[in-house]
Amino acid sequence: MKPAAFDYVRPKDIAEALSLLADDTRSIKIMAGGQSLGPMLNMRLVQPDVVMDITAIAELRTVADGAASIRVGAGVTHADFEDGRVPDISRGALPFVARGIAYRAVRNRGTIGGSLTHADPSADWVSMMSAIGASIVVRSASGSRSMKVEDYMIGALTADLAAGEMLTAVEIPKLGPRARWGFYKFCRKTGEFAHAIGAFVIDPDNGLCRAVIGATESRPLVVADARHLIGDGVSKPLLQSFDAVAVEAALVASGMTDTLDIRTHVVALRRAIEQQVSR
């Protein structure tokens, strides 16, 4: 199939992009890598009046290094994380996750901002960025605001993005020298969307112990303080402290009802711990 007719614009900077978005007389879809929007246009699942190509905005491809975090532009690609063009402040977690996203052709063009805004529950970045405690920055012509990644995704394929706003950056906290992490996903074959995701980050130096179960039917299940579920890796060993019953109960409380689905997600989190416990 071919997309319905649309106008095409390519702003040169964020100010121009926000000015275009402020026009509420036309529906506008933002395109960066186009890995999700392209197929949706071709299948006519979306029929915007205008497609705004933001690939010419240099600021969206920058990475700023701060004292406690890095700010990654929304246009930074998965391959940028994979190949080390984004400084690894995660003790290997972010490059590891990037390498497992779809195929290299997709990673070359797909962007961090596009992935988070598309808000697919099975997307790798949604779960890992939630586990590491990342935040996003959205801007409009009237100002900016920030929120945690898990709050940005408000449902399947739905992000907390108001009319006239665009995601411009992701703030990723730096992990301490004693930090440990895990990420595991169930896929039937390489490159396929995940059917269950388990992710965790434990950082004693920054008081962080978060577990995330992703690839649910809606937003991921995020446990901001997961010491009671998985241990803290210091005073409570991870594998010995893993509480499968409590994890299962948390999934049931979140609305998951299928027994096999629940068990698969519990196993995903446990395997994340088993594979990455030695990091």
Please state, in angstroms and rounded to a whole number, the distance separating the CA atoms of residues 72 and 149: 13
Position 236 scores a pLDDT of: 86
pLDDT along the chain (279 residues), means of 10: 94 98 96 94 96 98 98 98 97 96 96 97 97 98 97 96 97 96 92 93 95 95 95 87 96 95 97 78
CB environment 102-125: b (16+ within 10 A), e (fewer): beeebbebbbbbbbbbbbbbbbbb
Q: Return the exposure string of 189-202: e unless at least 16 CB atoms fall within 10 Å of the residue's CB, then b.
A: eeeeebebbbbbbb
pLDDT for position 259: 96
pLDDT of residue 237: 87
Contact 50, 29 (CB under 8 A): yes
CATH topology of domain 180-276: Enolase-like; domain 1 (3.30.390)
Class (C level, CATH) for 62-173: alpha beta
pLDDT at 279: 57
Ordered by start, the domain boundaries in the chain are 7-53, 62-173, 180-276
**What is the DSSP secondary-structure string of 23-41?**
-TTS-EEEESS-TTHHHHH
What is the distance between the alpha carbons of residues 172 and 262, in angstroms, rounded to a whole number? Answer: 29
Q: How far apart are CA 35 and CA 20, in angstroms?
A: 22
Residue-level pLDDT at 232 = 87
Q: DSSP of 66-109, one letter per residue?
A: -SSEEEEETT-BHHHHHTTSS---STTHHHHHHHTSS-HHHHHH
Cα–Cα dist 57/18, whole Å = 12
Q: Return the pLDDT at 1.
A: 74
Phi then psi for 64, rounded to 5 degrees? -110, 130
pLDDT value, residue 63: 98
What is the Cα–Cα distance from 23 to 46, expressed in whole angstroms?
A: 19
Please indicate whether the domains covering 62-173 and 180-276 agree at the CATH topology level.
no
Phi, psi of 239 (to 5 degrees): -65, -40
Q: What do you get for the CA distance between the two ends of the chain, in Å?
A: 47
pTM of the model: 0.95
